């Protein structure tokens, strides 16, 4: 146990130093852009939707409909961003991962530290976002506050498999594919802006495979106070499976790259 704690302390010191030096550069992408998106879609577009009646949304405002989904989507975007170039940088460019394993740290410890830092970034960003959502009356019930741990789980469910992919790429050209064919479609067809039941059957089925859809569904049910315990457990299990399996592959991939 003492070895685990010491390894965790080493990782914490490194990532705390990194964030103290770089946090200002993340203000726009991590905080300002999600808030502007919430204002544009939830308040701007939402006013036109609400003027035409909210019966299709169950009697809630459009802002209250999309806010939980935007929270989960923000978590995914932050997590993917922190799991692509930073991971490749540690292996290929700055190569700080090699410096880490020159200490008693194992490759597994290095990956756990990376994932812990991603969790920190997701949690801090989504906390600010959730406060703003609450101030704008974007939560239909106080249960919506539990969307924060759901957003964290969404972020980790996305981060772990993306880290696994990043450890296997030889250059950063593959990241464009992740964003274009992974993040963007997941964001658009996650149910954040409209029910996926309105999509064609074959696209609707693909939407259910995305971990983001499960996060959006659970966050919205919490906000509306309409949680089905069995469905919620299914959503949580699906997200947890992505995280656990992704972490296993990420540790395996990093170990091969650092010890070969």
pLDDT at 240: 97
Mean pLDDT of 167-190: 89
Q: How many CB atoms lie within 10 A of CB 165?
A: 20
- pLDDT at residue 106 tops 60: yes
Kind and range of the H or E run holding 65? helix 62-82
Per cent of the chain over pLDDT 90 is 45
Q: What is the CA radius of gyration of the chain?
A: 19
pLDDT at 139: 86
Kind and range of the H or E run holding 189? none
Question: 9-26: per-residue pLDDT in tens?
Answer: 677 777 778 777 777 767
Mean pLDDT of 72-95: 92
pLDDT at 257: 93
Question: 31-47: per-residue pLDDT in tens?
Answer: 677 777 777 766 666 66
What's the half-sphere exposure (Cβ side, CA atoms, 13 Å) at 188?
A: 8
pLDDT at 4: 55
Q: Give residues with Cβ within 8 angstroms of 72, minimum separation 6.
A: 147, 150, 151, 154, 190, 192, 212, 215, 216, 219
- pLDDT at residue 8 tops 70: no
Burial 130-139 (b: 16+ CB within 10 A, else e): beebeebebb
Rounded CA gap, 67 and 38, in Å?
Answer: 7
Question: 199-214: per-residue pLDDT in tens?
Answer: 888 788 888 999 999 9
- pLDDT at residue 27 tops 60: yes
pLDDT at 47: 67
């Amino acid at each position: 146990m003492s070895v685990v704690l010491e390894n965790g302390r080493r990782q914490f010191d490194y990532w705390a130093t990194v964030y103290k030096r770089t946090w200002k550069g993340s203000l726009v992408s991590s905080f300002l852009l999600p808030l502007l998106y919430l204002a544009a879609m939830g308040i701007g577009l939402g006013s036109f939707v609400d003027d035409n009646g909210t019966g299709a949304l169950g009697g809630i405002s459009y802002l209250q409909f999309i806010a939980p989904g935007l929270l989960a989507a923000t978590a995914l975007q932050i997590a993917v961003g922190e799991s692509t170039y930073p991971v490749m940088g540690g292996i290929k460019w700055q190569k700080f991962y090699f410096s880490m394993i020159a200490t008693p740290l194992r490759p597994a410890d290095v990956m756990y530290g990376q994932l812990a830092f991603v969790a920190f970034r997701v949690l801090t960003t989504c906390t600010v976002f959730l406060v703003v959502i609450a101030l704008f009356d974007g939560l239909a019930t106080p249960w919506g506050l539990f969307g924060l741990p759901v957003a964290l789980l969404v972020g980790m469910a996305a981060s772990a498999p993306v880290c696994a992919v990043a450890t296997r790429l030889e250059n950063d050209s593959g990241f464009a594919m992740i964003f274009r064919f992974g993040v963007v479609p997941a964001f658009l067809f996650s149910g954040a802006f409209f029910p996926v039941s309105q999509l064609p059957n074959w696209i609707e089925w693909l939407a259910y495979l995305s971990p983001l859809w499960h996060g959006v569904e659970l966050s919205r049910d919490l906000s509306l106070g309409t949680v089905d315990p069995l469905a919620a457990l299914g959503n949580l299990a699906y997200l947890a499976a992505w995280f656990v399996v992704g972490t296993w592959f990420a540790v395996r991939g990093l170990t091969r790259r650092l010890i070969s």
